[in-house]
């Protein structure tokens, strides 16, 4: 990623080779705050410096995306219940500060999604443990990705197979048959080879768990159990597991910001380029001139 445009915005610590061994990875120190801590502190400032209230609000927000769990709803309740004499101007200012904080955090999340997509599909090497504690807001304003103990490498074949799944899933109207075919080529196998269930598994793994929430399942695990009850997945290729985990970690961070994350639309452009560079551009481009959009 060091030669990409993301290098100007996202910092990857350099390994200190003379201190590394087969079992030990030593990398340069990056000075900054964890993204989660940065969000907590900004929210606490809006709430008059109450860090415990900020943490409580963020935890409650992350557990649900309904209206009464939203950041704006909960912060407004705290403001209304506080003893401070909040004028209409002060309330408006706090709302503006909250909106600004949320927009900034979401922009950072979008940048991280793009950078990770580049790592997965262009570099074939990515950080498989990008939870909020491993994302830093550096002193110079850049984002830092740390803790490469769970670095994962994708073979050329697996990268292209995954790219075909993600490019199919990332369309505005994904075709279940196309998605299922791409999943089979990646190595997924189910008992009944049910096209619809295979496509739903693909979406859960590499895009979003919103379908399960709409069906009333409280967690992705319960939704996965339901899918397996319909058509059990007999084989999941190992390379798919950590990519799926990465997708889930980003969704968790999105929930913290009251945002329903769909990873495939973010990663689709990187997936398309990966396939195009392999000489398959005619399948993805109109006459090689105009990229096909998310149709």
- pLDDT, greater one: 226 or 6: 226
Looking at residue 63, what is its pLDDT?
55
Angle, vertex CA 277, rays to CA 276 and CA 278, nearest 5: 90
Q: How is residue 107 written in tokens?
A: 């922009």
Q: How confident is the model at residue 81 (pLDDT cuts 50, 70, 90)?
A: low
Give the range with max mean pLDDT: 30-39, 91-100, 188-197: 188-197
164 and 271 in contact (C-beta within 8 Å)?
A: yes
Mean pLDDT across the stretch 145-150?
A: 90
Radius of gyration in angstroms for the set of CA atoms belonging to the chain, rounded to a whole number: 21
Burial tier of 293 (Cβ tally within 10 Å: 0-12, 13-18, 19+): exposed
Q: pLDDT tens for residues 116-138?
A: 999 999 999 999 888 888 999 99
CA dihedral 219, 220, 221, 225 (to 10 degrees): 110
Q: Is the distance from CB of 163 to CB of 154 less than 8 angstroms?
A: no
Q: What is the pLDDT of residue 202?
A: 98
Q: Name the residue among 199, 134, 139, 193 with its Cα closest to residue 171.
A: 199
3-state helix, strand, coil in the chain (%, to 5): 60, 10, 30
Helix axes 51-63, 35-46, angle to 10 degrees: 120
Stronger pLDDT, 66 or 105, i.e. the higher one: 105
Q: Is the pLDDT of residue 67 over 50?
A: no
The conformation of residue 235, written as its DSSP 8-state character, comes to: E
pLDDT for 57 equals 74
């Amino acid at each position: 990623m060091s030669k990409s445009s993301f290098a100007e915005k996202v910092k990857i610590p350099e390994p200190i080779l003379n201190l590394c061994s087969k079992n030990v990875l030593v990398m340069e120190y990056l000075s900054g705050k964890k993204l989660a801590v940065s969000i907590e502190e900004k929210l606490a400032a809006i709430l008059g410096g109450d860090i415990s209230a900020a943490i409580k609000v963020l935890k409650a927000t992350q557990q649900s995306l309904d209206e009464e769990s939203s950041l704006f709803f909960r912060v407004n309740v705290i403001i209304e219940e506080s003893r401070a004499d909040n004028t209409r101007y002060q309330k408006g200012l706090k709302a503006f500060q909250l909106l600004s904080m949320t927009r900034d955090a979401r922009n950072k999340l979008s940048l991280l999604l793009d950078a990770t997509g580049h790592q997965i599909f262009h570099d074939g090497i990515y950080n498989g443990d990008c939870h909020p504690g491993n994302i830093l807001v550096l002193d110079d304003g850049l984002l830092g990705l740390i803790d490469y103990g769970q670095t994962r490498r994708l073979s050329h074949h697996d990268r292209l197979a995954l790219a075909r799944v993600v490019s199919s899933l990332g369309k505005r109207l994904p075709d279940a048959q196309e998605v299922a075919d791409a999943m089979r080529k990646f190595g997924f196998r189910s008992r009944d080879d049910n096209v619809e269930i295979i496509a739903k598994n693909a979406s859960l793994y590499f895009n979003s768990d919103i379908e399960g929430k709409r069906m009333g399942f409280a967690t992705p695990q319960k939704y996965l159990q339901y899918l397996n009850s319909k058509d059990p997945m007999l084989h999941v290729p190992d390379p798919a597991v950590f990519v799926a985990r990465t997708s889930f970690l980003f969704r968790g961070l999105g929930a913290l910001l009251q945002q329903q994350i769909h990873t495939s639309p973010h990663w689709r452009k990187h997936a398309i380029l990966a396939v195009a560079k392999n000489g398959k551009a005619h399948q993805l481009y109109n006459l090689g001139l105009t990229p096909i959009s998310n149709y």
